Structure formats: structure tokens, C-alpha cells
Structure 1
Amino acid sequence: MRRVFILLLDSLGIGSSKDSKLFGDDGSDTLGHIAEKCFLGKANQGRSGVLRIPNLTKLGLAESAYQATNRFPLGLNRNLPIISSYAYASQVSSGKDTISGHWEISGVPILFDWYYFRNKFESVSTDLVNQIIFDSNISGIIGNCHASGTDVLDIYGETHILTNKPIFYTSSDSVLQIACHENFFGLQKLYELCLKVRKILNNKKYKVARVIARPFLGEKKGSFFRTNNRKDFSIKPIDDTVMVKLIRENLGTVISIGKVSDIFSNVGISYSIKSNGIINSFNKIIKEIKKAKNNTIIFANFVDFDSLWGHRRDVSGYAKGLELFDQNLPKILEIITDKDLLIITADHGCDPTWKGSDHTRENIPILLYQKNKKSVFLGHRKTFSDIAQTIASFFSLSKMNYGKSMVSNELTF
């Protein structure tokens, strides 16, 4: 019986890639800078003590970071035995966003340019706004600017409640985000609006990666908060992912946990499970592992690292999240079999010590764990798609169009 479990720590980059200067990210290092701040006692919110992630360290996370940066993360224990094969990978996709990272991991790199809303103060053009208003039967929009997802609520939240006009905002990523109050506007109405906007963008040939519904609650400035009912409306993958191949060629099953199904517009997903929070996600992953059958992929995204701590530049929160993940990791290591393949990776960086609030262009770790297999350093992978090609090899699927399998004389399944 062969099964693959992918745990994706959203934004856990391990050092800026060679092309990071093109993105203004040269010198960024999500894991390294978190470890450094903890080691030096300079993590925010009063955190003290080194970063404690012994299980991830034993799976090769720190060693993969060392290979990527030539710097071993400060405070991590280099004397722990490595029990997993590991590598680091650079990205070939044009963007440093969530879809570009996930799609490339699945074997479909983004080799075209996304559409970006470049104007920070009137992001969506007047013609496009008018089309959205006409097709969606709304009275207008507010915001329409580059903004932080939390700041925008304090700025426009009260006006939104008074006018019932949705808040549109953008960022440096290829995303159009729409924030509406769950009670005053309505959650389902927000989803329907986002779907209409997605269709308008598609029809007008705008290659915007995601339209994101951002529901919130609260009564006035200072009390607004985003809920867990976020939903992403993504472009469909432009080629067959490894998940599609598993379903088609092996009659396999692909289970999405977290926002993965949204990222792939539900293509190549057998069924999805909504999840928020690290412990909640672990509980749902464990439940699915226990009942998973042959030819199954469980693909889980731990979004909190990115949304709660990376973008908000919260070093202490990110560190605590990593430690909580690490503490729960043995629960999965204990129940998988020696026929299973556990993959731990990331999709981009979001260095909480970096300027601004955007993602950072970084290398990612690839940790490949099988019980009773020796540890092998698998080198520098030139594309995230090597993960998909390796999964294709594991399941004996036809080859992906991109990527090189990590299966070799040293690493066999």
C-alpha cells in the first residue's frame, strides 16, 4: 500500500534564492531570522529562549537550511541524528505567491506573468469596477487600494456597515480581496460576489491568480476581526497536476485539508476538509491517515504561519507556531507505515523580520520521511516540481512535464 502525506508549512522559506534581488528580497530568510531573533532574545512580544523544534531538526529542516544558506540556524541542535532524506529547492515560477508555489509543487510551474494591480491608490480600473457593479447588482465599492488585511477593516469597516458597499483591496501579489461583514452583508452573499468577480476576470482575460473572500465581524473600529470563513476563488490549473494523474491513472484519492482545494480550484481533489489552527489541522490529518487507503494523497496546508504571523511580521507568534507544530509532529510519525511517504515543505517565504508585509522570494525545504530508511541529502533542486516528479515515481504514474525525480540509487521506494 502506497500513500503520500504532504504537510505544507505555508511561507516557511529557508533563505533567499539566487533571483531574490529581482523581488527586492535579497537577504530574506524566514527560518534563519526567526531562529536568530529567538537565540538573541530579540523576538517580539517578550519571547525568550532558543527556537525549540527538535523533531523538524531530526527530519532535516535545519540541515536543509544550512545547505541553502551556509548558515546553520542559531540555537538549533546540530547533534541530533537525521532520520529523513532532505533537500532544498528554488522556484522557477514567475511569482512568489501561494498559487505559484503550490502549483509548482504539484508539477505545474507558472511560466507566464500574473496580472498585478500595480496602482496602489486606485487598484482596480474604473471600467472593471463598473463592470463588477453592473454584473453583481451592488451599489458600489470602497477601498480599492493596496492595504493590509487588518488595517483595511479599521479604515473602511464602519463605512462598509453604513453603506453596504464591499471593501476591495489588493497587494503586491496577484490577488483581489473583498472584505464584507458576515452579518450586515452576509457570508453567502460575499461568496456569490467573489464568484461573479472571478468569472468577470476570466472573461476579460485578466490572469489574476485569486479572488479572496475576507469575511469579518465586529461593530466598530478597533473591534473588527477576520473570521475563519475565508474562501479563495482561484484560476484553474493550466496543466495536469500530480493529483490529477493519481486520480486518473491509479483511480486514487486526493484529500485536501485547509485551503489546498481552493488553491487548485478543486481540480484534482477528491474531497476537501476545512481546517484552521495547527492542532485542529493535525487532528484532521491524523483522522484521515488512519482511514486512508492505497493510492491516496493527503495534502494539508498550515496557513497560520503565513496569514497570522508572516504577513503580520510577528516573530514570536511564528516561533510559537513552529514549536507547536513540532510538538504535534510525532503523532503523525507514530501512525504512518514504512510504505508511506511523508513530505514536509513550504511554498514561499514570508520573513517576519523583513520590510513591508509581503511574501519573500526564498528557497524551500523538502523533507522526505519513510520509516526505516537512511537519511540522504538530495541536493539543490532547481524547481519545486521535483516534488511532483518524485510523487509520480512513488505511485508509478506517467512522468510530469516538469521536474526531476529525487529517486536514485541512494533514495529508493
Structure 2
Amino acid sequence: MKRVFLLVLDSLGIGSTKDSYKFHDLGANTLGNIFKYLYKKKMNVLQENILKIPVLTSLGLIHALKKSCGKFPKGCDKNSKIIGSYAYSSPISKGKDTCSGHWEIAGSPVLHEWEYFTSLNNSIPCSLLKKISQKTGIVNFLGNKHSSGIEIINFYGLEHIKTKYPIIYTSADSVIQIACHENYFGLKKLYSLCSKIRNVLNHSKYNICRVIARPFINVNKNFIRTRNRKDYSMKPAYNTILEKFLLEKNSYVISVGKIYDIFSGKGISKKISLYSIQDIFKFLNKELLIKQKNNKNTIVFVNFIDFDSLYGHRRNVIGYAKELELFDKELYKFLNLMTNNDLLIITADHGCDPTWIGTDHTRENIPILLYKKFLKPRYLGHRKTFADISQTIAQYFGMSKMKFGTSFL
């Protein structure tokens, strides 16, 4: 039996796409600009090199970055021995959001345009709010504007606790976000509210990708978001590799992190709600050591959310760099536990350059790193769609072809 471990470093872009100017992202380069920032500041994140990621470097990450943007960043180890195959890929999906990136990786690119709330100061139209109120029984909402999640809960948090009115806001993504206090409003009540809003959108003219529950608590005088976020997404337009895998093979699909929510549970056998790098790798290492579930082929699909949510969106370059170094250290242990029948694919879903203006995602190419014991390392070229990943997985398991993408095996 074979296993694929598909790890998504959420937001680890490696250079602007050709169409990035349409998104006002020309020049964005998440990994490249982290190197540039650290080199310019002459900062040593863990008291050693500019950015100490020897395992990712040996898998070809820095070479993929060079292929994408034309040059090696200052301070990198460009002479490291390469033990994995590598590529860079451009998206064909119309957006630069989480769902578009992950769905395209899974073989279902978003070829239609999402709708965004960009009028009236980026607020949600009154007509839609009225429908939401009618269906949910919520008479009033706070906020209703384009905002950073941290800023809006700090601004409206006390008023929310006093009135129990949910905080509603949006961003550059196709999304409605609802922030409520876990104790004063209630987590189950928040989830129910977001589920009802998702249902309203499904029966409206608005093609909005996600409704996100954003629970928070207060610690001393500060409000902080908790790990109990939940996404209510639309479903992909085409069958994904996950659904196809379950249908065609004696198989098992494990989702880790927010993967289950991104795919609305479709094609998932088991959901693992872990989010920190340490917790995720503890689970993955344990998974490597045990026998495969009922002797089944397995896909383990993992999202590492903190790169994006804690450091990319918050424009925290040092935090992002430290998170990369932590990931690299954990990855070393993981590689040593892999068996001959394990295939590792490391990639990203979009960019979120922590040196860029604003707080939104950035339109970027992504890395694709491929590792399997005894597989000859090579450059896999410029891939024209993220869907090449799912096509490769389909070939690896001997499945019929996906609708999109070209295998690089």
C-alpha cells in the first residue's frame, strides 16, 4: 500500500505571477522578501544563518524560488546538495484566496469569478443583511466593513460583550466573517449563526466563497482569537482528487488542520483538528510509525495555517521566519521516518508577503517539492497549474486521469 503526505505551507509564495499586477501585487515575494528583509537588517533568527532552513533547502525550495523570480536571495545556501525534486507553479484560478488555492491543488481550479463586497466602504449590502437577520433572528450587527480581524475585535469587543450583537466584517477575499466572544455569545451559537448565513448565501445571488466563524476571548485587557475558527465553504465545481481517490481505490483520506472545512468535508475519511507545527508533526510522525489503516492506500492532506494567519496577514516577518525554521526542524525528523512507499509533497496555496502593503494575500507562484526515497532528484519545470499536484497523485496511485493538470512523475 502507498501513502501520500501533502503538506501545504499556507501562504508560502515564491514570487509574483505574470498577472499579479491585476491584483496590485507586482513585486510581492513571500519567501524572497523574508530573505531580503533579514539580510538587510542583518538579523539572525535563531542566532545562526540569515534563515536556517537546511531541510527545505535540500528539497529544492531555494532553487524553486530562483526559478520563479530569476535569482537566489542574499543569505541563502545555494550550494546545498539537492535530495528532492522541485518546481514552481502558477495558478489558473481567478482568485488568490484559500479555497481557490487548495481546490486547484486538489484538481478543481476556480475558473469563475468570486464576488467580493467592495462597495459602500467594503460593507455587506443592507438588503443581504436584512435577509440574514430574517433567517437568523439577529436584529443587529456591529462593524460591517472591510477590516483586519484583530483590529475589529479590539474596536468592537467591549460593545459586543455588552450588546451580544455579532461583529460582521469582510476582507479582500470573497468572504463574510463573524466574530463573537466564546463565553459571552457562545461557540455553538456562533457556529449555528455562520451555518445559517452560509445557507442564506447559497440561496442568494451572491457568489461568496466562505463564511468564517471567528471566536475570540479576552485575556486581561486584550482580545485574542482562539483556535476554534470554523470555515463554511462553497463546494468545489469539479470532483477533487480526494473524492476520486475514495471512489476508485481501496483508500483512506485524513485531513489535518482546516482542510476539512475548505472542502466542506467532501472526500474526507477522518478529520484531525490540529494547527500548531509541533502538534501536527507529532501526529504525522505517529502516523508514519503505525500500520496503514486497514491496509489501505492513504492520502494525508495537511494545512499549516499559522504561516498565513499569525504571520503573513499580521505582516510579522520575524515570526514568519521563526515558523519556517521550526517547520524545518520538525521536517528533518519526519523525513527519517518515511518508508519506501511514502511520497511527500510540500507546497503552498498562495502568497501572503509579510513585507507587503496591507494585510491581504498576495498573488504569487508556489513551490512544489517532491521527495520519495530512491526517487532521483530533478527540476520539474514551471508548472502551469497547481492541479499538476493532483494529477501526479492520481498517477502515483494508478487512478484514472483528473480533468486538469499534468503529472510530473
TM-score range, shorter chain: over 0.9
8 Å CA contact 1:146–1:170 kept in 2: the answer is yes
Q: From the superposition, tell whether residues 129 and 43 of structure 1 become closer, same or farther in structure 2 (CA, over 3 Å).
A: farther
Match for residue 116 of structure 1?
116
Q: Is the partner of 1:68 in helix, strand or coil?
A: helix
Alignment map for 1:370-409 (pairs within 5 Å): 370-407=372-409
Match for residue 197 of structure 2?
197
Distance in 2, matches of 1:307 and 1:395, equals 33
Give the RMSD, CA atoms, in angstroms: 1.6
List alignment gaps of at least 5 residues for structure 1: 408-413
Q: Does 1:283 align with 2:285?
A: no
List alignment gaps of at least 5 residues for structure 2: none
Q: Is the partner of 1:380 in helix, strand or coil?
A: strand
Given residue 337 of structure 2, which amino acid in structure 1 is its aligned partner? Answer: I
> What is the deviation of 1:357?
0.5
Match for residue 411 of structure 1?
none
Match for residue 267 of structure 1?
266
Match for residue 15 of structure 1?
15
> What is the deviation of 1:71?
1.3
Q: Does 1:238 align with 2:240?
A: no
Given residue 404 of structure 2, which amino acid in structure 1 is its aligned partner? Answer: Y
With normalisation by structure 1, the TM-score equals: 0.95
> What is the deviation of 1:394?
0.4
Q: Deviations over 1:319-345 (max 9, x none)?
A: 000000001101210111122110000
> What is the deviation of 1:205?
3.8
Distance in 2, matches of 1:215 and 1:240, equals 31
Match for residue 251 of structure 2?
252
Q: From the superposition, tell whether residues 348 and 250 of structure 1 become closer, same or farther in structure 2 (CA, over 3 Å).
A: same
Match for residue 87 of structure 1?
87
Q: From the superposition, tell whether residues 4 and 159 of structure 1 become closer, same or farther in structure 2 (CA, over 3 Å).
A: same
Distance in 2, matches of 1:290 and 1:370, equals 17
Given residue 286 of structure 2, which amino acid in structure 1 is its aligned partner? Answer: K
Q: From the superposition, tell whether residues 305 and 122 of structure 1 become closer, same or farther in structure 2 (CA, over 3 Å).
A: closer
Match for residue 312 of structure 1?
314
8 Å CA contact 2:214–2:229 kept in 1: the answer is yes
Distance in 2, matches of 1:121 and 1:47, equals 45
Match of 1:369 among 368, 371, 374: 371
Alignment map for 1:201-220 (pairs within 5 Å): 201-218=201-218
8 Å CA contact 2:44–2:51 kept in 1: the answer is no
Distance in 2, matches of 1:405 and 1:372, equals 19
Distance in 2, matches of 1:180 and 1:45, equals 35
Distance in 2, matches of 1:170 and 1:224, equals 19
Q: From the superposition, tell whether residues 40 and 46 of structure 1 become closer, same or farther in structure 2 (CA, over 3 Å).
A: farther
Match for residue 134 of structure 1?
134
Moved more, 183-192 or 112-121: 112-121
Match for residue 57 of structure 1?
57
Q: From the superposition, tell whether residues 245 and 406 of structure 1 become closer, same or farther in structure 2 (CA, over 3 Å).
A: same
Moved more, 135-144 or 60-69: 135-144
Q: Is the partner of 2:208 in helix, strand or coil?
A: coil
> What is the deviation of 1:78?
1.4
Distance in 1, matches of 2:37 and 2:268, equals 39
Match for residue 151 of structure 1?
151
With normalisation by structure 2, the TM-score equals: 0.96
Q: From the superposition, tell whether residues 86 and 185 of structure 1 become closer, same or farther in structure 2 (CA, over 3 Å).
A: same
Q: From the superposition, tell whether residues 195 and 78 of structure 1 become closer, same or farther in structure 2 (CA, over 3 Å).
A: same
> What is the deviation of 1:121?
2.9
Match of 1:295 among 277, 294, 297: 297
Moved more, 198-207 or 307-316: 198-207
Match for residue 334 of structure 1?
336
Q: From the superposition, tell whether residues 45 and 250 of structure 1 become closer, same or farther in structure 2 (CA, over 3 Å).
A: closer
Distance in 2, matches of 1:350 and 1:87, equals 19
> What is the deviation of 1:239?
1.2
Match for residue 35 of structure 1?
35
Percent identity, aligned pairs only, is 54
Q: From the superposition, tell whether residues 147 and 46 of structure 1 become closer, same or farther in structure 2 (CA, over 3 Å).
A: farther
Q: Deviations over 1:305-325 (max 9, x none)?
A: 000000000000000000000
Q: From the superposition, tell whether residues 325 and 283 of structure 1 become closer, same or farther in structure 2 (CA, over 3 Å).
A: same
8 Å CA contact 1:341–1:369 kept in 2: the answer is yes
Q: Is the partner of 1:254 in helix, strand or coil?
A: strand
Match for residue 357 of structure 1?
359
8 Å CA contact 1:91–1:384 kept in 2: the answer is yes
Q: Deviations over 1:177-208 (max 9, x none)?
A: 00000000000000000000000000114221
Distance in 2, matches of 1:100 and 1:306, equals 15
Given residue 218 of structure 1, which amino acid in structure 2 is its aligned partner? Answer: N
Q: Is the partner of 2:320 in helix, strand or coil?
A: helix
Given residue 228 of structure 2, which amino acid in structure 1 is its aligned partner? Answer: N
Q: From the superposition, tell whether residues 233 and 367 of structure 1 become closer, same or farther in structure 2 (CA, over 3 Å).
A: same
Match for residue 171 of structure 2?
171
